[in-house]
Amino acid sequence: MQSELSPDPDAATLLHVGIIMDGNGRWATRRGLSRLRGHEAGVEAIRRVVEAAPDQGVGTLTLYAFSSDNWRRPRAEVSALMTLLRFYLANEIDALVRNGVRLTVIGRRDRLPDGIANAIARAEAATADGTTLHLRIAIDYSAREAILNAAVRAANAGPLSRETFADLITGETGLRDVDLIIRTSGEKRLSDFLLWEGAYAELHFTERMWPEFDTDDLADALASFHRRERRFGGLTSIAPEVVPTL
């Protein structure tokens, strides 16, 4: 097992996996429970997956926790979700540090309740030295808005390549494109998640509801990913020609 003391020498081969954690509400409703119980069970699934990810070859994990369109939900559900996220961020710090996880949060912060913005800042600072896994949690996130904001900033920048424009979108230097996007609950759409970074992502859809997603499901998704042939527009059997600058 890797730890923050022994980062993988083959870090370049570690995958970036994105997960659209969907189905909390249906999972709960089918059991006669409130939707909030589903979200609480969803937090347990997050813990399982974050702990298992490094041993399954994942170096970066982006979890979709709350979309910018989720503000459309009933006020009580939004507020319960925010409380849950705040507890997660506050209570998880020790475990994240112990496991060498570096946490960053993507998405807008200016519309979040104060408690959450503070909890995010504290969790990011406390986990900043983690090298085993980069965990990115998307809260009040919209991929289209991230691209739009980058375009506005690009207007004042010099000439940009796809790579440098990507840095404006992600807020990081050289973040690896997402290799695999997993969506639970049987829905087959992206719902405004990682639209730029996922340009060549493999997609894995499973009927499992997020609260029941476990380490075997993650392993299944990765096994299916490793069986795919990724061509990036080329032909696998033939060495790539020199690509002209676009």
Contact 45, 214 (CB under 8 A): yes
Q: Report the nearest approach of ligand IPE to the CB of residue 178 (Å).
A: 15
Among 14, 15, 24, 54, binds ligand IPE (CB under 6 A): 24
Tokens representing 119 are: 């909890």
Burial (0-12, 13-18, 19+ Cβ within 10 Å), 72: exposed
Find the residue with minimal CB distance to ligand IPE. Answer: 25
Q: Please state, as a whole number, how many other Cβ atoms lie within 10 Å of the Cβ of residue 181.
A: 23
- Using CB under 6 A, which of 21, 105, 106, 112 touches ligand IPE? 21
Q: Which of 63, 74, 163, 76 shows the shortest CA–CA distance to 105?
A: 63
Binding mask 46-65 for ligand IPE (x = CB under 6 A): ------------------xx
Contact of residue 2 among Mg ion, ligand IPE, none (CB under 5-8 Å per partner type):
none
Please state the closest distance from residue 70 (CB atom) to ligand IPE, in A. 5
Binder of ligand IPE out of 15, 81, 143, 218 (CB under 6 A): 81
User: How many binding residues for Mg ion (CB under 5 A)?
Assistant: 1
Q: In this structure, are strands 133-141 and 58-67 parallel, antiparallel, or unpaired?
A: parallel
- In the chain, alpha helices (H): 24-30, 35-52, 75-91, 93-98, 114-126, 143-154, 162-170, 215-227
Of residues 60, 67, 99, 142, which one binds ligand IPE by CB under 6 A? 67
Tokens of 98: 């112990």
- Matching residue, tokens 């298992």: 52
Which residues are known to be catalytic?
A: 22, 70
Choice from 2, 8, 26, 165 touching ligand IPE (CB under 6 A): 26
When asked if residue 197 is in the footprint of Mg ion (CB under 5 A), the reply is no
66 interacts with ligand IPE by CB under 6 A:
yes
Query: Of 160 and 203, which has the nearer Cβ to ligand IPE?
Result: 203
Residue 6's Cβ-count burial label (10 Å; 0-12, 13-18, 19+) is exposed
Interface with ligand IPE in residues 168-197 (CB under 6 A): 185, 187, 189, 191
- Binding test (CB under 5 A) with Mg ion, winner from 19, 22, 64, 67: 22
Q: Distance (Å, rounded) from C-alpha 209 to C-alpha 145? A: 27
Q: How far apart are the C-alpha atoms of 154 and 149, rounded to whole Å?
A: 9
Residues in touch with Mg ion (CB under 5 A): 22
Residues in touch with ligand IPE (CB under 6 A): 20-26, 64-67, 70, 81, 185, 187, 189, 191
